[in-house]
Amino acid sequence: MHEAHLATCHDGLPAKTDDDALNGGPRVGPYRLANRVFVAPMAGVTDRPFRKLCKQLGAGHAVSEMAASNPKLWATVKSSRRIDHTGESEPKTVQIAGGDAAMLAECARFNVDRGAQIIDINMGCPAKKVCNAAAGSALLADEDLVARILDAVVAAVPVPVTLKFRTGPNRMARNALAIAAIAERSGIAMLTLHGRTRADGFNGYAEYDTIAAVKAAVRIPVVANGDIDTPERAAQVLATTGADAVMIGRAAQGRPWIFREVTHYLQHGTHRDGPTIGEVRSLLGAHLEDHYAFYGALTGLRTARKHIGWYVAALPGGALFRARINTIEDCDAQHAAVDRYLVGLGSDADLLPAKVSPEPFLEAA
């Protein structure tokens, strides 16, 4: 539903629970997640450096980019990076994608053998290249196949299995309640539901009535996802749906401190100041160095450009700077240019100028 239709409690915040009092999130198997504000898996975005940064800045849970279930792809550099959790805080969660139950079960075992502590199944990605391969949200049209996949993966591994999905194939065929019932029977430990259908892609607005209905129908934790881009919206969605947590995707691009802003608002009902220019210099500098080390100089330089672009998208002179940063072909020069740009915005003690949400980017689910 549109923001105007979101219900709010007397103070705009969700009712407090015992878990809230402890600032804890939902339990997934043996793991009590750190809080109720998660970062969404996003293709090409939530790599290990970005996940670590989001957790550092308050995200209570992070899931890897989706890993393909096809074993022919497991040894590729791209797949190896996607399942690399070295130095990342627990629980280490890998999202897997595919349309064959046996292959997904084997993929789950492969990742658990390499340190995954939670397996997340992707049935939410609306991207054509994923859906055309009969994976992601395309699976929602075949409830029998959904059941076979979930049963196979849960039986294959000794760790919790979670599911991320959408409200249905299209608005005339919303079947989230049926999928949620199948998931609960299969032993899925937590559900994350994006409030759009496969056909919606990222168009229009997420609706939350279906998420509320799923939460009321199951006994396992439910996470609300879709269009959560401010502390107020997070609180309203929790209040409206009764969800156990919220998951933030595109709004975190270039704004990873949104997680601490949301958690602060949920705990105190007040806004926390945004970061200072000096803090952003430090955070972005460390992010770039971690990014270069993870990808290597050439790939790191090129893939860092989109992150830099999101950070500066709505800042003074950001558009011109984005164009210039794309011409730099050296990591040290790229890092130095970013630092000079931030210095030019004001003193280290000044708050970073207010900005709007960054450009949309594909969420993996």
Average pLDDT score over residue span 272-288: 97
**For residue range 314-326, what is the model confidence (pLDDT) as tens digits?**
899 999 999 999 9
**For residue range 214-266, what is the model confidence (pLDDT) as tens digits?**
999 999 999 999 999 999 999 999 999 999 999 999 999 999 999 999 999 99
Task: Say what the pLDDT of residue 68 is.
Answer: 77
**Residue 5: partners with Cβ closer than 8 Å, 6 or more residues away:** none
Beta bridge partners of 346: none
Q: Of 78-87, 207-216, 276-285, 334-343, where does mean pLDDT reach its minimum? A: 78-87
Task: Say what the pLDDT of residue 137 is.
Answer: 82
Q: Does 107 qualify as catalytic in the annotation? A: no
Looking at the predicted structure, is the pLDDT value of residue 359 above 60? no
Task: Say what the pLDDT of residue 16 is.
Answer: 42
Looking at the predicted structure, is the pLDDT value of residue 270 above 80? yes
Looking at the predicted structure, is the pLDDT value of residue 365 above 60? no
Beta bridge partners of 39: 62, 248
State the average pLDDT for the chain.
88
Task: Say what the pLDDT of residue 140 is.
Answer: 93
Q: How far apart are CA 329 and CA 74, in angstroms?
A: 30
Residue pair 39/46 in contact (Cβ under 8 Å)? The answer is: yes
Q: Which amino acid is at 204?
A: G
Q: How far apart are CA 66 and CA 253, in angstroms?
A: 18
- Please give the share of the chain, as a percent, with pLDDT higher than 90: 76
Alpha-carbon distances of 110 from 94, 181, 214, rounded to whole Å:
11, 27, 31
Task: Say what the pLDDT of residue 1 is.
Answer: 38
Task: Say what the pLDDT of residue 125 is.
Answer: 75
Q: Of 2-6, 38-42, 333-337, where does mean pLDDT reach its minimum? A: 2-6
- Name the catalytic one among 54, 125, 131, 331: 125
Task: Say what the pLDDT of residue 24 is.
Answer: 83
**For residue range 176-202, what is the model confidence (pLDDT) as tens digits?**
999 999 999 999 999 999 999 988 888
Query: What is the reported pTM?
Result: 0.89
Looking at the predicted structure, is the pLDDT value of residue 19 above 70? no
Beta bridge partners of 354: none
Looking at the predicted structure, is the pLDDT value of residue 363 above 50? no
**For residue range 44-85, what is the model confidence (pLDDT) as tens digits?**
999 999 999 999 999 999 999 888 777 666 667 677 787 778
Task: Say what the pLDDT of residue 63 is.
Answer: 95
Q: How far apart are CA 57 and CA 260, in angstroms?
A: 6
Task: Say what the pLDDT of residue 74 is.
Answer: 65
Q: How far apart are CA 291 and CA 288, in angstroms?
A: 5
Looking at the predicted structure, is the pLDDT value of residue 97 above 50? yes
Looking at the predicted structure, is the pLDDT value of residue 5 above 60? no
Alpha-carbon distances of 42 from 106, 136, 218, 360, rounded to whole Å:
23, 13, 26, 11
**For residue range 136-179, what is the model confidence (pLDDT) as tens digits?**
788 999 999 999 999 999 999 999 999 999 999 989 999 999 99
Q: Which residue stretches of the chain are H helix?
A: 18-21, 48-56, 77-82, 101-113, 128-131, 143-156, 176-186, 209-217, 231-241, 258-268, 277-295, 297-312, 318-325, 331-343
Task: Say what the pLDDT of residue 23 is.
Answer: 56
